[in-house]
Amino acid sequence: MSYDRYLAICKPLHYATLMNGRFCCQLAAGSWINGCLAIAIITCLMLQLNFCGPNEIDHFFCESTQIINLCCTDTYLIELVITILVILFTLPPFALTVVSYVCIISTILTIPSTTGRQKTFSTCSSHLIVVTIFYGTLMIVYLLPKTNTLRDLNKVFSIFYTILTPMTNPFIYSLRNKKVKEALRKIVCKCADFRRIPN
């Protein structure tokens, strides 16, 4: 999405040719393949571990890092692999996002009119907020040292990158459409009128 915003703001005349349907499908397929590959490697390594002791995870989700805590064998190899996979599959998209937004912001700053700058920035500000929440919480959970204080916070932060971010994306991008806004307004008005009707 950051590359899409980069093309729309920094190279608007080339947008239609560069961001075509085939390229969008390739980007989506690449994301899915990367995710499936990373989790397949981790799952294969986890199947070789021995587990003992309590079978309860102190977390909202059954994340690999939480399952590893239940293991009674040496987990150095799998923890190393998870760290390498996090670096390989998270840092390049994060770097691409940062570079895209640096280019976007530098382009926005060259726009002479204030209203033009505000309008252009408003097209990508919602995506920037979602990306910041996603990567910020991921970094806190996976890169900061594990402490007792952060353990409970990590449970809350995991909700941000697993549920909140995917849930807000459709709202953010669909609410830019005037027809969707109007339909949502009608639904809200109908619900408000329905509640006012006495039983």
Where are the chain's structural domains?
A: 2-168
24 φ, ψ (degrees, to nearest 5): -60, -45
The amino acid that residue 11 corresponds to is K
| pLDDT bucket at 23, cuts 50 / 70 / 90 | confident
Higher pLDDT, residue 125 or 100: 100
Contacts of 159 (CB under 8 A, 6+ apart): 60
What rounded mean pLDDT belongs to the chain? Answer: 81
**Helix residue spans in 146-177 (DSSP H):** 148-159, 165-174
- pLDDT computed for residue 190 by the predictor: 81
Above 60 in pLDDT, residue 197?
A: no
pLDDT digits (tens, 9 = 90+) for 35-49: 899 889 888 888 888
| pLDDT bucket at 33, cuts 50 / 70 / 90 | very high
Of the candidates 82, 187, 95, the one whose C-alpha atom is nearest the C-alpha of residue 141 is 82
Provide the token pair at 171.
Answer: 């709202």
Above 60 in pLDDT, residue 116?
A: yes
Q: 87-93: long-range contacts (C-beta < 8 A, 24 or more apart)?
A: 88/38, 89/34, 89/35, 89/38, 90/135, 90/138
pTM: 0.70
Give the residue-averaged pLDDT of 63-90. 82
* Most confident listed range (87-91, 148-152, 172-176): 87-91
Higher pLDDT, residue 103 or 175: 103
Can you tell me whether residue 73 is helix, strand or coil? Answer: coil
